[in-house]
Structure 1
Amino acid sequence: MTQIFAHRGYSALFAENTMSAFLEAEKAGADGLELDVQLTRDGEIVVIHDEKVDRTTNGHGFVKDFSYKEISRLNANKKGIKKEPIPSLIEVFEWLKTNQLICNIEMKNGLFPYEGMEKKVIDLIRKYELSNRIIISSFNHYSIVNSYRLAPEIETAPLFLEAIYMPWIYSQSIRAKGIHPKHSSIPDHIISTTLDNGIAVRPYTVNREVDLKRLFRLKCTAVITDNPVKALKIKKQYEKRP
């Protein structure tokens, strides 16, 4: 049965990568979350997608140039009335201990190769005993391999923008148990063959009905979507069919 992962939380209706977006995703019935992590100047792991804070907050500049204290003062809810801070990964993990959601952590270390990020994230996962509920993903595949070497018990999944030849072979070669491809770049037969070879397939960012239906039909492991409510509604309709 295809799982529903809320992309940056329930980001279709709530400020992305905020605790509100995560809480609402859980309320909506999502199976898991996808979120992004970066490091502050003083080495705290914070949940934010862009390397700069400009798009999603009322601040300006690179995440790496803020101290944790400085970045936590920013408002990550530009469009709404309620102030939303940028969460720390610790805050998210404290909350994850109260539920059973799966959490896909995307390491945003492509532009800035944050030194020691993998170890910091893994140490925290182990501290909160969440190893069996976390998937580490990244477009930086060196980071994926490094994560596996540090913690072979935690699932890893490389992210892809473009199509890749025989992704199941590639995944096996880097010890990844899944792939997270852009949904429009992976054809049906590649999804099916990857799944047949025991590799999980969780395409992103799947928001249109036609795309959701295609991936439910192919029995993808999960879909990563901005709108878990819409995805669940379509999934239920799909499962009712004979």
Structure 2
Amino acid sequence: MKRFAHRGVMAHLPENTMSAFNLALEAGADGIETDVHMTKDGELVLIHDETLNRTTDGNGLVSACTIYELRAFNAGIRHGREDKIPTLQDLLKLVQDKSVLLNLEVKTDVLRYEGIETKIINAIDASGIEPSRILFSSFNHETIHRLKRMRPEIEAAILIAQPLFDMVGYLRTVGADGVHPHIDRITDAEIKWLQENGVPVRPYTIKTDAQLERCRALQVDAIFVNDVEWSRKTL
């Protein structure tokens, strides 16, 4: 069962920052999960929300700012430290020579960011990172459909917060490979059914010992955790 550092090691450092990503590497995470948005001038940046308000000392939409403007904000303000909003290129450069996996959650479920899929593919191609180390996910399943058509060799998963009817059939329709379900919104029977049909299952976000043990017992493919060290010690 692989462990993905959810937004880096966000339990201890500002989420979606280079500090949190570096700690994930130090903690021995199998993968790093991050969220991809696009700026006003077409740069791919790593931040969870569509707005700057919660995680930085800025306000307003990420998409209303240029990359130069975003660099002026502090993404570590809630932790009393200085951290910039990184670009996707920053993270790709960090992991380029590592073996760690990279889960890119494409945040097109609220804002559509026209052309973001092409820009992500181009960034990955330019990095030289093997497609087998990349995993796409999104709550916008049209985005997943587009990405799979563009790069069928890169694994892609649908994110779901509620049950879906006939998930296996739905995956075929979308063209997706796996399912990333909310841990509390999927039953053991549904997980086993997906596994029996060869579908990778990676629940999010595992925060308690009971959730961790449940995933271990079900032998899911991977989990998303805020604290990689905690998950290692608990297991």
TM range (shorter): over 0.9
User: 1:164 deviation in Å?
Assistant: 1.4
Matching residue of 1:239: none
SS in 2 for 1:217: helix
CA contact (8 A) 1:137 1:159 kept: yes
CA contact (8 A) 1:166 1:190 kept: no
> For the residues of structure 2 that align with 1:179 and 1:30, how far apart are their CA atoms?
20
Aligned residues: 234
User: 1:79 deviation in Å?
Assistant: 2.5
Structure 1 residue runs of 5 or longer lacking an equivalent are 236-242
Matching residue of 2:214: 214
SS in 2 for 1:203: coil
What TM-score does the superposition give when structure 2 sets the normalisation length?
0.97
Matching residue of 1:134: 134
Aligned CA RMSD, in angstroms, stands at 1.0
CA contact (8 A) 1:171 1:199 kept: no
> For the residues of structure 2 that align with 1:170 and 1:100, how far apart are their CA atoms?
32
Matching residue of 1:94: 93
> For the residues of structure 2 that align with 1:81 and 1:207, how far apart are their CA atoms?
24
Matching residue of 1:111: 110
What TM-score does the superposition give when structure 1 sets the normalisation length?
0.94
Structure 2 residue runs of 5 or longer lacking an equivalent are none
Matching residue of 2:44: 45
Q: How does 1:143-158 map to 2 (within 5 A)?
A: 143-158=143-158
> For the residues of structure 1 that align with 2:228 and 2:168, how far apart are their CA atoms?
27
User: 1:231 deviation in Å?
Assistant: 1.1
> For the residues of structure 2 that align with 1:68 and 1:24, how far apart are their CA atoms?
24
SS in 2 for 1:87: coil
* Residues 195 and 129 of structure 1, relative CA distance in 2, 3 Å threshold: farther
Q: 4+ residue runs of structure 1 moved beyond 4 angstroms? A: none
SS in 2 for 1:200: coil
> For the residues of structure 1 that align with 2:80 and 2:161, how far apart are their CA atoms?
35
1:179-199 deviation line (CA, Å, top 9, x unaligned): 101010111111111112111
Matching residue of 2:57: 58
> For the residues of structure 1 that align with 2:162 and 2:126, how far apart are their CA atoms?
35
> For the residues of structure 2 that align with 1:100 and 1:196, how far apart are their CA atoms?
28
User: 1:82 deviation in Å?
Assistant: 2.8
